[in-house]
Structure 1
Amino acid sequence: MITITVKWDVKPEYADDFLELTREFTEACRAEPGCLWFEWSRSCDNPNEYVLIEAYKDAQAGKEHVESGHFAEAMKTQGKYAATRPKVISFEKPGTGWDELGEIEMP
């Protein structure tokens, strides 16, 4: 599984509409056969910050994602919403989904 986290510092004038501005891209990514999840969150502390977490079933699915037409189009157009270059963490790990947090005590 390939997991990717992207932190976006969105320009204030786009922050409230950012999810709608990226909706078409989000829906296209979610429809990819190898996409396990593609989820946006907005920071509780900074209203201009969004975090995207996405995962693909394997390296091939990740490759197909970054070679897709909708990815290329997004990379050409979505930079106008960013106040700074988005930050990314990407890694490959075994598995097909979320692991459970073993440290938490459950009743």
Structure 2
Amino acid sequence: MILIVLKASIKPDKREEWLKGITEYTAAVRAEPGNVSFDFYENAQDANEFVIVETFRDGDAGSAHVQTEHARNFFPWMGGVVTRKPYINYQDLDGDAWNEMAEVEPR
């Protein structure tokens, strides 16, 4: 399983363009056969900072992802809306990337 977390700072005047673009990109990535999940979140304290959390079945699915037309178009486009290079945390994990949290028990 591949787990990727990105943190991106968006230019304030590009916020609406970013929201439209990331929403379209999210739908395209979720449709990929090797995608497990893809979500993006806005920072509650900074309306122009976003985090993207994505998981792929395996390294082959991750490699296939970056070769898709939507990814090849999105990455250069993203360069025009960010204030700096995004930060990335890329993890190639054995097994499932998600586990139940031990500290919380539903009642």
Deviations 1:71-95 (A, max 9, x none): 1111121211101111100011123
Are residue 90 (structure 1) and residue 90 (structure 2) matched?
yes
The separation in 1 between residues aligned to 2:19 and 2:89, in whole angstroms, is 21
Number of residue pairs matched?
Answer: 107
Instruction: Give how far 1:97 is off.
Output: 5.0
1:26-105 matches, within 5 Å, as 26-96=26-96, 98-104=98-104
Unaligned runs of 5+ in 2: none
Moved more, 59-68 or 7-16: 7-16
The residue identity in structure 2 corresponding to 1:88 is I
TM-score, normalised with respect to structure 1:
0.90
Query: Is the 1:36–1:97 contact (alpha carbons within 8 Å) kept by the matching residues of 2?
Result: no
Q: In structure 1, give the amino acid aligned to 2:41.
A: S
The letter of the residue matching 1:27 is A
Structure 2 length-normalised TM: 0.90
> In 1, Cα distance between the equivalents of 2:68 and 2:102?
37
Per-residue deviation, 1:105? 5.3
1:41 aligns to what SS in structure 2?
Answer: strand
Specify the code of the residue in structure 1 equivalent to 2:77. T
Rounded Cα–Cα distance in structure 1 between residues aligned with 2:7 and 2:82: 10
Q: In 2, Cα distance between the equivalents of 1:16 and 1:45?
A: 18
